[in-house]
Structure 1
């Protein structure tokens, strides 16, 4: 049975998983903390982001103490993988623009090149990492962010099929249900984002789906959530955030085309 599956996906080394409490502790910045503290049930994306349980300070015990060992702000979030027996996990960064207004000119230039040199600029998405359960070896096959950075827009369907491969640990019937559920949830996320008064830079879509055919439940077959809000701010804007909507639209098309393909099997 897998353990701590979320920690390495997409390079999230700032996350600590608490299996006994079904929670995650993630180091954060004031922008992300303010976002989680501000979003409530009246906001359209409330049910499309991880549940926020609160904030805390992470302390170390340095000897001797140093400035680097000062307490770090952290947020306590819902562990989205806890609903699955064997979770397959994919992290997809959204947006063509990957820097916010507070970035230095040097960082803006660096992030612009990162967008242009990857699929971000042309499509609004970049696969940043995924883990797929390998039944034969009873362990995960891990794909890191280098793979996602190497892709061309034309290769994005290959990336999706690498995350949801055929053959799969699930049956074809179960797999069809998973892909259909992911597509439906992405449409719901898009509707929510189109109504949300915010601007989000470098947020991601997290997709989790069940890989255990024996413990497969249709009501918990897959989960799609928006995550990573270190550069996200609520605004008074009455227009949607087209930067991430472009990426969500790309992802919806990818999943829809794959759904049509596997429905013919």
Structure 2
């Protein structure tokens, strides 16, 4: 395998989550692809997700593959019985420590400007108590799993006021080696009629913040038997992320059917039917929508992003995806029906605030050595005080974020020494990079 040098950004320290009581576990409602049965702690910093034994094994073994692990959600531990709330406590107690956040990115970044949008993910080094393991499960079609197993992970959407979320399923081949023939045929059919077959990925789900006043006149519920082409979009005025009303240049795809969009608490959630409808020729529309839409420039008449920071977000997503590409090219693994999860701040004022905080951090790093020393000493004292306060009040604070990109869903993932890189997943990652670069070029 080819190797090249890497840049490792400075480590960041994030306060660990604090153990909740039994009654503080709540339903998680930021699953863009519609996964059921996921819960979180009260602060939202942790997720408890029904899973397979294979997924637990993959997370546990990822410590031996740090390049890959850098792009996974932080693994806290596993539970043998999801409903056993007492079993949650020791895991969350172990998690209530400070984590060091690092990531490796490819050295060659010629195609994308370095805007300090490096990948940054937690290094899961916590030691967890031994837990009973049970037999693995069979696919559930997105419904809640009933395996008696659950995995405890960091919540990638924590740290955002109103996250904009895109779940992209990777691979043209979607089935694992142990899948029965009927399952293989079904998934092959899905691949052939969607962008999975042509581009190596498809949009599995998307959730966009549009503001608390957003309402729908049609399509509040998504009929399960409704196809993308069955219904044309009806005229409707929506509040877009920047507060503008929709028109011919809205952030919706040109033929977005309202039956494939659900409205809830200020969010527009795009169902899997929406993603399955695209072809390789128009799937770019989904990413245009995700980034807030385009409009015609008043002076030049050329298409430009509606959102001020959309180009910056696109550059950061590209950089993260290039880092994932580098990791996959330098690992020997296989994963089927895994996803890339992309998140960025959908609230404009919160995004501005997060960017300002980043700028302050960068400016702080340019001070002279004496100033740096004094600042570090004060920060260490402040961190100790905050840690003591956290111990007292049980609060669990996650810093403001601009964006996150992670690989998720490893129910059908394994390490495959001697078999080379995962070209099935890499096809999708490379296609994603190409589409986002094309948007910037336009």
TM-score (structure 2 length as normaliser): 0.53
Q: Secondary structure of 2:177's match?
A: coil
| 2: CA distance, partners of 1:132 / 1:252 | 21
The aligned counterpart of 2:153 is 77
Deviations 1:60-114 (A, max 9, x none): 7xxxxxxxx9761000001001021110001000000000110001111111111
CA displacement 1:32-87 (0-9 Å, x = unmatched): 11000110164311111100000012137xxxxxxxx9761000001001021110
CA contact (8 A) 2:291 2:307 kept: no
Cα contact 1:205–1:227 (8 A) shared by 2: yes
| Structure 2 residue 162 is matched with structure 1 residue 86 | yes
Query: Which residue in the other structure is 2:337 paired with?
Result: 202
CA contact (8 A) 1:59 1:70 kept: no
Kindly indicate whether residue 413 of structure 2 is the aligned counterpart of residue 251 of structure 1: no
Structure having the higher Rg? 2
Identify the match of residue 35 of structure 1 among 50, 58, 67. 58
Partner Cα distance (2:146, 2:158) in 1: 31
Query: Counterpart in 1 of 2:416?
Result: 235
SS at match of 2:267: strand
More strand by share: 1
| 1:196 positional shift | 1.7
Correspondence list, 1:114-263, <5 A? 114-135=190-211, 136-137=213-214, 139-166=266-293, 172-216=307-351, 217-218=354-355, 219=358, 220-237=401-418, 239-261=420-442
* Partner-residue secondary structure (3-state), 2:348: coil
Distance 1:40 1:70 in 2: 27
1:5 positional shift: 4.3
Q: Are 1:103 and 2:179 matched, yes or no?
A: yes
Written as runs of structure 1 = structure 2, the 5 A alignment for 1:42-53 is: 42-53=65-76
Change (3 A) 1:89 1:5: farther
- Rounded to whole Å, the distance in 2 between the matches of 1:201 and 1:88 is 25
CA contact (8 A) 1:54 1:76 kept: yes
Q: For the structure 1 residues 176 and 19, does the alpha-carbon distance in structure 2 shift closer, same or farther, using more than 3 Å as the test?
A: farther
Q: Which runs of 5 or more structure 2 residues have no equivalent in the other structure?
A: 1-26, 85-144, 215-264, 296-304, 359-400
Change in 2 beyond 3 A, CA 1:259/1:4: farther
Distance (Å, rounded) in 2 between the aligned partners of 1:249 and 1:42: 21
Q: 1:234 to 1:113 in 2, by over 3 A?
A: same
Asked if the contact 1:131–1:143 (Cα under 8 Å) also holds between the matched residues in 2, the reply is yes
Q: Distance in 2 between matches of 1:116 and 1:83?
A: 37
**Most deviating of 235-244 and 17-26:** 17-26
Q: Does structure 2 conserve the Cα–Cα contact (< 8 Å) formed by 1:54 and 1:75?
A: yes
Instruction: Give structure 1 stretches of 5+ with no counterpart.
Output: 61-68
| Structure 2 SS opposite 1:148 | helix
Higher mean displacement: 71-80 or 216-225: 216-225
Cross-structure match for 2:37: 14
Is the CA contact 2:44–2:158 (under 8 Å) kept in the aligned structure 1?
Answer: no
Calculate the aligned-residue CA RMSD, in Å. Answer: 2.3
The CA distance in 2 between the partners of 1:112 and 1:225, in whole Å, is 25
Separation in structure 2 between the aligned mates of residue 194 and residue 160 of structure 1, nearest angstrom? 25
Greater helix fraction, Structure 1 or Structure 2: 1
Tell me: CA distance 1:70–1:162, structure 2 relative to 1, closer, same or farther (3 Å). closer
In structure 2, what is the Cα distance between the partners aligned to 1:89 and 1:21?
16
